[in-house]
A and B are shown apart, each in its own frame.
Chain A
Amino acid sequence: MIKKFLLILFGILCITNATAQRRISGIVTDMNNEPLPGATVVVKELSTLGAVANVDGHYELRLPDNKDYTLMASFVGYIDVSKKVSDKQEDVLNFQLTENSITLDQVVVTGTRTPKLLKDVPIVTRVISDLDIKRMDATNISDLLQTELPGIEFSYSMNQQTSLNMSGFGGNSVLFLVDGERLAGETLDNVDYSRLNMDNVQRIEIVKGAASSLYGSNAVGGVVNIISRESQEPWSVNVNGRYGAHNEQRYGGSVGFNAGRFNSMTNVQYTSIDAIDLSNGTDNEEVGDYSMIYGNSTLNIKERLIYTPIDNLKFTARTGYFFRERNSSESQKERYRSFTGGLKGNYNITDKDDLEVAYSFDQYDKSDYLVFGDLDVRDYSNVQHILRALYNHTFADKHILTVGGDYMRDYLMSYQFTDGGSYIQHTADAFAQFDWNPHKKFNLIAGLRFDYFSEAKLSHLSPKLGLMYKLGNCSLRGSYAGGFRAPTLKEMYMNFYMGNIFMIYGNPDLKPESSHNLSLSAEYMKGNHNLTVTGFYNIVDNRITTAWNQALGGQVYTNMSRLQVMGVDANASGKYRCGISWRLSYAYTYEHIKKGEPMLSATRPHTATARIAYDKDWNNYGLSVALTGRYLSKLTTDVYTEMTSYEQTEKQTYPGYTIWKLSFAQRVRNGINITLVVDNLFNYRPDYYYSNSPSTTGTTFSVGLSLDIEQMSKK
């Protein structure tokens, strides 16, 4: 948008300067002959001369003389078109632009912490766009990530809690951010993914591989950054609802306005789903490791207010409340709450310097609601206060130096500590990164970060080096990055009598997990097609896990021996003028541990996702049809025959599966959107429900309706 604005501004300036001999005019349209207002037409030979297309796509400019000139039309999201004008030609010159197939004009921030075009980022970044989210009518992030990316699997861990595996890395090794901010709280090493609803999300950026040089602890295996949408319309009101199988209900709404120097967006979403009886329709009550998925409900409220007192200064205030209740029995409901707030100032000191100062607060509580006695008793609270400063300086209009630092106060009270006690840890870090662009075809990025953790008495350095070289239609990228994860307060101080059965002890002497990540990638683009292949290799030292300790007669947190995780990600996509697009992604992951040690992997070696879609917009009707599928190969792994002794293992095989989803999203008139989704199209049902089986009971349907009131009020 900013780019568009600048182009328009540039155009206006140019028009006022255009006071010469020959008048050239015409229309800029897309391939459907729809006008492209705001498209720019510039004269290549005269860098100050250009024009901007008006609402009808019409442009007009005056050339100083009758010499030969080249005119170039451009528009965000479209491929530039150049045409020559000679004195013999007529004075009308029309342009028809082709949409850029693979939104490479997309701006991303996660890989470098500064806004950069996707095609210019030296760190491989995958983007899930708002169209992808809308098409799928996605409610939560787990469903969306699994549909869009191979190598990602959400399954259940103990106590039916959600657990992530991303190419060999678990929930605590993948850092989840919302607009760059961390989330407090975890359950069995995973953040509460249901906090990350897809309401008002602009895009999701996924960077695989270590990123601790920018993000510090937890960015061992990757970063997932959810970017919120800023309201652009003068005002906007949306109400939406969805109904699906198992009485799944979703109701949401948003109100946004853009008035003078204020911009505000408020979102509310409520979801609920009944318990799912997996034995339904079978004569067997014990259909697997689990046979009943608990029902639950969530409420998510977000508010963000942006105030721009002067043009180069922006303040963003945000606050949020999240509530989830899980119906695990008639006597007891587990409750999860979060309170979030933040204040951020962005100051563009000069064209070359900008500064961000931010404070962020996140509290995540767990409590048990006891029906007998009507008591809501909290037994877990994680409170994080973070202060951050980030400064960018641009040298010679192209090299960017980024320096920054954070301070975090991390408070954790937990029922897993002695007498439900609490601990506090202070962490501080400083980082610097230099993004060097000596040539438009070559980019080098280097970064270093220092982290300090008070309770763990830990200092850690994380380096990064990334290179990109563009060769014709190819972009080659290579990087080395260090990752680490500091032992958490939970891992250091746990003292918990697990279900009155056995003890789990923390270990204050834990070493941090660390990783070395090497990645090589080649991207090929031509016209409507894009092919990217990435190979990666990770060495992971001191991964933190629990192991049985005979002397203590319980489980103790401990560091694992060296592990290697390597693999290949491949992605091919195409997008055509007629509205058809497709994407095929495949991931192969291989984990290796010292010979003689059992390989207790939970990572499926082969996974793939596929999508074919048709998107078309007419005046009063828009249609998006998408067929998406995901394939997960079978997994054969070692499991210990006894939990209290690690002498014997046996092979366990988890079956592979394929699931397809069909979605129809329709826009009727302006602002009325209806979405129909058929999930598990071919009625797949596991023979036995393992914790990593999909919790499906067969084909399901859902229908959603979304009304954009401000658009309905337009003609």
Chain B
Amino acid sequence: MTVSQKIISLLTGVIALLSLSACNGIFEDIYDEPLAEENNEYGFIFVDSMTNTGRIYIDATDYTEWHYIDLHGKEVTTKSVEEPSPSNWDFAIHRYDAKTNGGAVAESNATDIMAVPNISTIPEEAYIVDEWTSDQITIDMSQMMDGVIIYAEDYYNPCLSKWLNVDTSTMPPIYTLSGKVYIFRLSDGTYAALRLSNFMNDAAVKGFMTIDYLYPVQL
């Protein structure tokens, strides 16, 4: 073979090798694999009875659903916005919105569920009860691009809903988690501590809510 033939055959070999070994790309290993959603558990995915803490994971991507959380029975019940609420529930979420079953919520400065402040130090006026709204609970976004958003009339807790701030003054909106622990006084007089840890799933889809809780809080 002449020099040029040798070089051409070498070049062809290298090209064949490169293209075969990496047809669909290289360095796949630098990425993390998202958990497949169908295998995911929802509800109370972790409960530690020693410390009374746990984690709740909810698929709240659907605009037409409320997810009712029963801290006593450790159960999540999903209902359509038109349906009546279940018989036992303590608080509920719809997308990033939250409401309580006759309770009240105060924002603490704590950012760790294990560092809940002494309940007696929280002044009564810090507790915010639910309010009736007609422009918070979005149930139909399909005409949003035309400037039409359809809301449901419902209760809404403005304090607990501060766990995620969505700044729509800029496009796309900026999402900021408060990271704070919220003190939730249930209607039966017991207390829970709640903290929204995440609002996305592994694939960065928004509306998957991860809530850490402590219940009951020892008085």
A687 on the B face (CB < 8 A): no
Return the chain A residue nearest B204 by Cβ.
Answer: A368
A409 touches B23 (CB 8 A): yes
The range of chain A's interface size is 35 or more
A378 touches B198 (CB 8 A): no
> Chain A: residues with CB nearer than 8 A to chain B?
158-160, 279, 285-286, 289-292, 309-310, 313, 315, 328-332, 339, 341, 343, 345, 347, 357, 359, 361, 363, 365, 367-368, 370, 372-373, 375-379, 381, 383, 385, 387, 409, 411, 413, 415, 420, 422, 499-502, 553, 641-644
What are 8 A-B pairs at a CB distance below 8 A? A313-B4, A328-B172, A361-B19, A365-B31, A372-B197, A379-B203, A500-B63, A500-B141
B61 on the A face (CB < 8 A): yes
Interchain CA distance A347-B32 in the complex, whole Å: 44
B177 on the A face (CB < 8 A): yes
B146 on the A face (CB < 8 A): yes
Query: A372-B198, A375-B34, A379-B203 in contact; A339/B171 too (CB < 8 A)?
Result: no
Interchain CA distance A345-B31 in the complex, whole Å: 34
Q: Which of A331, A343, A359, A377 is the one whose CB lies under 8 Å from B202?
A: A377
Given the complex, which residues of B lie within 8 Å of A367, measured CB to CB?
Answer: 31
Given the complex, which residues of B lie within 8 Å of A422, measured CB to CB?
Answer: 24
B8 on the A face (CB < 8 A): yes
B14 touches A343 (CB 8 A): yes
Given the complex, which residues of A lie within 8 Å of B175, measured CB to CB?
Answer: 329, 331-332
Given the complex, which residues of B lie within 8 Å of A290, measured CB to CB?
Answer: 170-171
Interchain CA distance A383-B33 in the complex, whole Å: 19
B115 on the A face (CB < 8 A): no
B7 on the A face (CB < 8 A): yes
Min Cβ gap A422→B in Å is 7
Given the complex, which residues of B lie within 8 Å of A415, measured CB to CB?
Answer: 203
A387 touches B3 (CB 8 A): no
A313 touches B7 (CB 8 A): yes
Min Cβ gap B148→A in Å is 9
Q: Which of B33, B145, B169 is the one whose CB lies under 8 Å from A285?
A: B169
Chain A binding site: helix, strand, loop or mixed by DSSP?
Answer: strand
B144 on the A face (CB < 8 A): yes
Interchain CA distance A385-B23 in the complex, whole Å: 8
Interchain CA distance A309-B18 in the complex, whole Å: 22
Within 8 A of A (CB), among B193-212: 197-200, 202-204, 206-207, 210
B204 touches A332 (CB 8 A): yes
Given the complex, which residues of A lie within 8 Å of B26, measured CB to CB?
Answer: 339, 363
Given the complex, which residues of A lie within 8 Å of B62, measured CB to CB?
Answer: 500
Query: A328-B174, A383-B23 in contact; A357/B146 too (CB < 8 A)?
Result: no
B15 touches A411 (CB 8 A): no
B143 on the A face (CB < 8 A): yes
Interchain CA distance A373-B57 in the complex, whole Å: 14
Q: Which of A160, A361, A500 is the one whose CB lies under 8 Å from B61?
A: A500
* Given pairs A359-B14, A365-B25, 9 additional interface contacts (CB within 8 A): A290-B171, A315-B7, A330-B176, A331-B200, A343-B14, A379-B203, A385-B23, A411-B23, A643-B146
Min Cβ gap A128→B in Å is 32
Interchain CA distance A345-B8 in the complex, whole Å: 9
Return the chain A residue nearest B201 by Cβ.
Answer: A370
A329 touches B174 (CB 8 A): yes
Given the complex, which residues of B lie within 8 Å of A381, measured CB to CB?
Answer: 24-25
Given the complex, which residues of A lie within 8 Å of B143, measured CB to CB?
Answer: 644
B200 touches A345 (CB 8 A): no
Interchain CA distance A642-B144 in the complex, whole Å: 10
